[in-house]
Amino acid sequence: MGRNILITGASKGIGFELAKILLGKGDNLVLVSRNIENSENVNELKKISDNFYLLNCDVSKSEDIDKLHDFTKSKLGKIDVLVNNAGRGIFAPVGTETAQSIKEIIDLNVFGLIYLTNKFVDDIVENKGSIVNIASVAGRKGFAGLSTYCATKWAVVGFSESIRDELCAKGVRVINIEPGLVDTDWGENLPEAFQQYKKSVDMLRPEDIAKLIGFALDAPQHISLNEVLIRPTNQPR
């Protein structure tokens, strides 16, 4: 019997690569993103296994999270692992952000992650499972033009450490992954200078992060990789 695992932001990038790895291990997955049911990548997953369920879900919205909770319980019962991977960043210098863009980033990166964790934590405690939160090097270092994004990732780090302190005695592993630059389509309105900076770095691949998460989940139960900061070798900060 494989593990029951829920992954957000699973239609592409890190979430998709992780789904491929976990399906290959025999795990049972619920995979969500805003439009995953129409994703062409699903055909690639079917070549590995059909042990997965798809649900279109915007995890910035409480009503979608409630729907996701009910869907997951109906398909898998209790889950062993929650992977909070969905996230969004919009480049905007301070003073130029709108109320809407600030709220959208915080609702997805912080509210959604926290509320979804609250919905499933009882399952994970019962099964002595794991919570994987995808933070960022931006949760350690501020980047000009990405202040709201950085603030959300600092929040993810703080939330992860707080629930780790609360849940470790119950046998739950809280794994906080903090990648540097990853070669995905992350980032909206990125200026040319930032684009050129990305090109100057030998960026991490989504599969690099997925393999790291797989390693952390496969570690013996008494081993918890609480916080993993991973950067490209030639990314200074």
Assessment of whether the complete model's pTM goes beyond 0.85: yes
Q: Are 91 and 101 in contact (CB under 8 A)?
A: no
Q: Could you report the per-residue pLDDT of 100-137, keeping only the tens digit for each? A: 999 999 999 999 999 999 999 999 999 999 999 999 99
Query: What average pLDDT does the chain have?
Result: 96
Q: Is the pLDDT of residue 227 over 80?
A: yes
Contact 33, 56 (CB under 8 A): yes
pLDDT digits (tens, 9 = 90+) for 143-158: 999 999 999 999 999 9
Domains (range + CATH), the chain: 4-230 (3.40.50.720)
Length of the chain: 237
Long-range contacts of 191-194 (CB under 8 A, 24+ apart): 191/91, 191/145, 194/91, 194/145
Q: Please state the rounded mean pLDDT for residues 64-93.
A: 97
Condensed to tens digits (0 to 9), the pLDDT of residues 35-49 reads 999 898 999 999 999
Buried b (16+ CB within 10 A) or exposed e, 201-233: bebbbbbbbbebbbebbeeeeeebbebbeebbe
Distance of CA 191 to the CA centre of its chain: 25
Question: Which active-site residues does the annotation give?
Answer: 149, 153
Residue 205, pLDDT above cutoff 90:
yes
Give the C-alpha separation, 107 to 114, whole Å. Answer: 10
pLDDT cut 70: percent of the chain above it: 100
